[in-house]
Amino acid sequence: MMGTLGNVFLAGSFVAALFALITYAISAYREDKKIESISHKLWVTKGVFLLIASGILIYLTMTHQFQYYYVWNYTSLDLETQYLFSAFYGGQEGSFMLWVICSFIVGLGLIKWTRKPYRAPVMFVMTLTQVFLLSMVVGWDIFGINIGASPFRTIAQEMPNAPFIQANPDFVPNDGSGLNDLLKSPWMMIHPPIIFVGFAMMTVPFAFAIASLWTKTYHDWIKPALPWTLAANLCLLTAIFLGGYWAYETLSFGGYWAWDPVENASLVPWLIGTAGIHAMIIQRKSARAHKAAIFLAILAYIGIVYQTFLTRSGVLADQSVHSFVDLGLYGQLLLFILVMTFMGIGFYLYRYKDLPSPEKESTILSREFMTFTGSMLLLILGLVIILGTSSPVLGRLFVDNPTPPEMAFYNQWSMPIVIIMALFTVLGQHLFWKRYTWESLAGVLTIPLILTSIASVLSIVLGDVRSIYYMVFIFAAWFAVIGNAAVIVDLMKRKPKLIGGALNHIGFGVLLLGILASSVYTESLLDERTANYNQRIAQGDVYDEEGFPVTTPREMFEMELNSPKLINEKWMVTYEGYELSDSPRAGQQTYRLKFEPIDGGRTFYMNPEVYPMLTTSTMDNIEWSVDPHVRTGWTSDIYLYVAGSKYVQQENERVAAMGEMQPAVDQEDDKQTVEINKGETAEAGEFSFTFQEFLPAEENQLPDDTQIGIRSLIRVEHVPSGEAYEVEPLFAVYTEEGRSFTYAPTLEIERWSLKVQFTSVLPESDSIELTVEGLSQSFEEDWILVVAEIKPFVSVVWLGTFLLMGGFSVSLLRHWSREKKTGENS
């Protein structure tokens, strides 16, 4: 059986890792080259075994072997090949395996490039983390204690008490339960690998920091560690960007960031890693801040393990939309974090007295002081976010059953911190490259300050910014952009390879501008009626049926088919119907909304989608998911989704009726007769019928042997909407085999599914009788509920992120090539 084979290779990999741990420890302790090379072989063996196990898991997935719980749970027959492949890391167990594979590859790089005396201790730490991660997936049961959960367990092993397993232990489901539709996105396919490469690389500075404490060589470790940290940060940043972009494009919570614990889990290590990079740079340039550099390198990895613990142990289950299942790994994860923390922080404290300290304090106007401040601010921001994310644990200090903090907590604390950061980046970057006194610094900064003031005033006036706090924020962000741009201009003339740092700091300023504009100045798109209603809510004039004031404004509006509405006094919006299709998702509706700018700009269409989530829908209940349409623009994005529609409602009613096993529609005869005098109007249901006049019937429409044949001109009006049609039903009496018959063909007004029949003429009163069918089904125009927002300058958020990526890449290349040169020379 393939699954058993998989388990064997996983176990082999775990055992190899355990042996490697021992041999690396010995070789580090004795500085024994021979044992070290054995350890490397064990490392490679471990990796190869794991790759084989992963290969088996992928094979099982590709061949749809649904007797395996993992395969059944994350895939289905109709899944496209690329998603079958990515299902490998779609679940908790596979994602642990991916993490180990990434660290394995990073380890190969370390074996190749790391110099003495760091190699063995660094690899020891790397192996230790691998032992823990592999223990999460081995799935051993020793004396009743479960170690890890294997991805190769079968359905029978997963739920031995399920009735169908009891009945038939070899039960194999026909089809899997499938991958969540929301995750079927190319962004989500590449997001996990990038994040795990980032996590794996972030282990490297941690390992080097421990190795430096171990070997008591506190100076040199940052040279090899710095490029790894930069690369780790670049990966985490890319992963954060992809996650944010995915959330914005596919989820309906309307933004790229929600301070969700899982999002924070990648942001915090990034912040602490960046803090560590600052400290390492001081150490490298000025042989100072050893303590901070080692401490932060340790903390960045502990941050990763801690956030892994929070998101995977089930502690956060109530709080996050995407926390993982509790696989019973609580104890193991807790042990992982405790060992890492005690080893890291404990070793650090043990060596603390031994660590070099600077002989004299640095002055405020020095690059050391400024860079160090930046590092500390990043650390503080990271700690604040950790505090917020830890509310289920730390919140118990205050209340029994703590809820997550309000989003305002994060915003209120991060805003002042980033304002100070933004101002310091400019001073720091200037001082980094040249010495200044207060006077000369003021002189250099005059022009950037003037430009910043102009840019800020323009932004404040054009953006109609009223809050003083935001004005300060805008000023600080523009200062970061313009002040650091001045540094770049200066550097370009002298050493263009060194612009990485300044580029990063510009990116940071740009990012701040984008975040403020796109989050604070997001506006709901609304029709006039809803906008007026919201205005009355704001004035406190709206009360609900119980007499309480309504406080929540409406953030949606309704559109009816082909009736245009003026939205935000800017666009004439028309709902033009929807299209049903089965591709790429079965039962998907694509709605079409036409936007015509009233100032004469170019017309455009928005095409939001709604589709049934097949993986979670059941026979009597369809679960709908929305796919928003985002119209990206340079200055603003329009974000729009359909929150409800007539079609969805009808489908729900239809399915609900089927589920209740009732006949679909009550076959109640709702025919009704209407008598109308000539020239008069009669009402029935929601309709009015006006008998205007008799018309002659045409010969060819009549049956043979017709005695009387006549048509009547009837105007049918749908009273609520005022829409009207004219129909000309026919009435005839003919004879066949000596008997008289009436002939009254039914005319249908399809739009209202209304059937009209001219069933009798009453000559004595000059009136006619109509038989109408379909009155009781009140006609409803096709409608949709629209939720839409206009978000200014989301593009600037992305621009800032790209600049940061660019800056990190430039620094990475520079430090890497320098490190390689030293490597070759030594």
Partner 1 sequence: MKPKLVLGIFSIVLFTSLLMYNFGNSISTYVNFEQAETRSSSHVVGVWDSSQEYGFSRETMQFSFYMKDEDGDVRRVVYPRPKPNNFEQATQLVVIGEMRNNVFHANDMLMKCPSKYNDMSEIEFSSAEGN
Considering beta carbons, is residue 306 or 410 the nearer one to partner 1?
410
CB-CB contact of 90 with 74 (8 Å): yes
Considering beta carbons, is residue 196 or 259 the nearer one to partner 1?
259
CB-CB contact of 787 with 555 (8 Å): yes
d(CA 313, CA 295): 26
Beta bridge partners of 761: 768
Nearest-approach distance from CB 407 to partner 1, in angstroms: 9
Considering beta carbons, is residue 660 or 704 the nearer one to partner 1?
660
d(CA 591, CA 750): 22
Considering beta carbons, is residue 301 or 624 the nearer one to partner 1?
624
Report which secondary-structure segment, H or E, holds 629.
Answer: strand 629-631
Nearest-approach distance from CB 3 to partner 1, in angstroms: 18
Nearest-approach distance from CB 345 to partner 1, in angstroms: 18
CA distances from 275 to 299, 376, 581 (A): 10, 7, 50
Report which secondary-structure segment, H or E, holds 195.
Answer: helix 186-215
Considering beta carbons, is residue 2 or 655 the nearer one to partner 1?
655
Report which secondary-structure segment, H or E, holds 125.
Answer: helix 119-135
SS3 792: strand
Considering beta carbons, is residue 468 or 619 the nearer one to partner 1?
619
Considering beta carbons, is residue 220 or 555 the nearer one to partner 1?
555
Q: What is the DSSP letter of 785?
A: E
Nearest-approach distance from CB 109 to partner 1, in angstroms: 33
Token pair 């996590």: residue: 199
d(CA 271, CA 240): 12
Q: Where are the beta strands (DSSP E) in 544-623?
A: 557-560, 565-567, 571-581, 588-597, 604-606, 609-612
Nearest-approach distance from CB 623 to partner 1, in angstroms: 6
Q: Residue 703's CB: how many other CB atoms inside 10 A?
A: 13
Amino acid type, 614: L
Nearest-approach distance from CB 60 to partner 1, in angstroms: 17
Q: What is the DSSP letter of 235?
A: H
Nearest-approach distance from CB 624 to partner 1, in angstroms: 7
Written as six digits, the tokens of 94 are: 């596979």
For residue 205, say if its preceding peptide bond is cis, omega within 30 degrees of 0: no
CB-CB contact of 277 with 226 (8 Å): yes
Nearest-approach distance from CB 560 to partner 1, in angstroms: 11
d(CA 796, CA 800): 6
Nearest-approach distance from CB 580 to partner 1, in angstroms: 20
Considering beta carbons, is residue 165 or 572 the nearer one to partner 1?
165
Q: Residue 200's CB: how many other CB atoms inside 10 A?
A: 27
Considering beta carbons, is residue 492 or 656 the nearer one to partner 1?
656
- Provide the b/e sequence for 285-310 (b: ≥16 CB within 10 Å): eeebbbbbbbbbbbbbbbbbbbbbbb
Nearest-approach distance from CB 378 to partner 1, in angstroms: 15
Considering beta carbons, is residue 105 or 380 the nearer one to partner 1?
380
Q: Where are the beta strands (DSSP E) in 506-551?
A: 523-524
Considering beta carbons, is residue 266 or 414 the nearer one to partner 1?
414
CA distances from 632 to 18, 524, 597, 793 (A): 51, 16, 16, 9
d(CA 228, CA 236): 12
Nearest-approach distance from CB 617 to partner 1, in angstroms: 9
363, with CB counted inside 10 A (0-12, 13-18, 19+), is exposed
Q: Is the dihedral of CA 438, 440, 443, 445 positive or negative?
A: negative
Considering beta carbons, is residue 319 or 771 the nearer one to partner 1?
319
Considering beta carbons, is residue 12 or 402 the nearer one to partner 1?
402
Q: Residue 810's CB: how many other CB atoms inside 10 A?
A: 20
Nearest-approach distance from CB 36 to partner 1, in angstroms: 42
Nearest-approach distance from CB 518 to partner 1, in angstroms: 21
Nearest-approach distance from CB 319 to partner 1, in angstroms: 8
Token pair 């924070």: residue: 264
Token pair 């021979």: residue: 34
Nearest-approach distance from CB 548 to partner 1, in angstroms: 5
What is the full DSSP assignment across 684-701?
A: ETTEEEEEEEEEEPPGGG
Considering beta carbons, is residue 162 or 762 the nearer one to partner 1?
162
Considering beta carbons, is residue 74 or 432 the nearer one to partner 1?
74
